[in-house]
Amino acid sequence: METSDSVTAAGSAIGSSPALRRLSLADRARLNGHVPAVLWFTGLSGSGKSTLANALEVRLHQQYAAHTFLLDGDVVRTGLNKDLGFSPEARTENIRRIGEVARLFYEAGLITLVAFISPFRADRDRVRALFPPGGFFEIYVNCPLEVCEQRDPKRLYQRARAGEVAAFTGIDSPYEPPRRPELTLDTAGTTPEACVGQALALLVQAGLFKA
């Protein structure tokens, strides 16, 4: 058996530079009951990225017993990327690191939900290139700026308009919408429940749970 061989190979070979057999993606998919994927939610502040990603993660956990993780500003900006600010260079490095972390979670076999404004197309495309075809789903959380600004859950638009926050996406820093996202969710005209349903349908259709 493949994995039995690995134990033997690894166990008998300290210091002799063996070609170590690691657990494969297939081993992990068998254990999890699904293949890995990265679901990348991009959109303006207040568009609903984190809310939808969180609701989708809970559904994946409850309904599919899927092995998941959610990466967003709350968990990344306070830890791994706490050394980074909000200059264009720092934003690019922020997204680069998040992409690399998502790749590690992908290799670990998880369905990883990522919710970041990630305003620059080039940054998102560099992340996409880390994954095999079918492994990366760009989900555009589309919502008019006026609606986002009216919601303003963190009072960030208010502060940006008052000049207290510089280079705020949608106000004085650009947002570049995806050209060919795997899915677009219109959160101004669709209920959150329906948005989550659309995302789930996409994942089922893509064959994630056929492993």
Catalytic residue numbers read 118
Which residue lies nearer to its own copies by CB, 13 or 204? Answer: 13
Which residue lies nearer to its own copies by CB, 98 or 119? Answer: 98
- Nearest CA to 203 out of 179, 183, 180 is that of 183
Q: Is 177 helix (H, G, I), strand (E, B) or coil?
A: coil
- Nearest CA to 130 out of 100, 110, 155 is that of 100
Which residue lies nearer to its own copies by CB, 35 or 148? Answer: 148
Residue pair 169/45 in contact by the 8 Å Cβ criterion: yes
Shortest CB 155 distance to its own copies, Å: 9
Distance (Å, rounded) from C-alpha 183 to C-alpha 180? 8
Which residue lies nearer to its own copies by CB, 131 or 180? Answer: 131
Shortest CB 142 distance to its own copies, Å: 13
Shortest CB 117 distance to its own copies, Å: 14
> Measured between alpha carbons, how far is residue 207 from residues 58, 81, 210 in Å?
19, 33, 5
Residue pair 120/176 in contact by the 8 Å Cβ criterion: yes
Shortest CB 152 distance to its own copies, Å: 7
Shortest CB 66 distance to its own copies, Å: 9
Provide the strand spans (E) within 43-170.
Answer: 68-72, 111-115, 136-142
Here the tokens at position 201 are 């349908």
Which residue lies nearer to its own copies by CB, 180 or 194? Answer: 194
- Nearest CA to 157 out of 47, 12, 34 is that of 47
Which residues are near its own copies by CB under 8 A? 3-4, 6-7, 10-18, 20-23, 27, 31-32, 46, 48, 50-52, 54-55, 57-59, 61-62, 65, 67-71, 75-76, 79-80, 97, 100-101, 103-105, 107-110, 130, 147-148, 150-154, 187, 191-193, 196
Distance (Å, rounded) from C-alpha 152 to C-alpha 64? 33
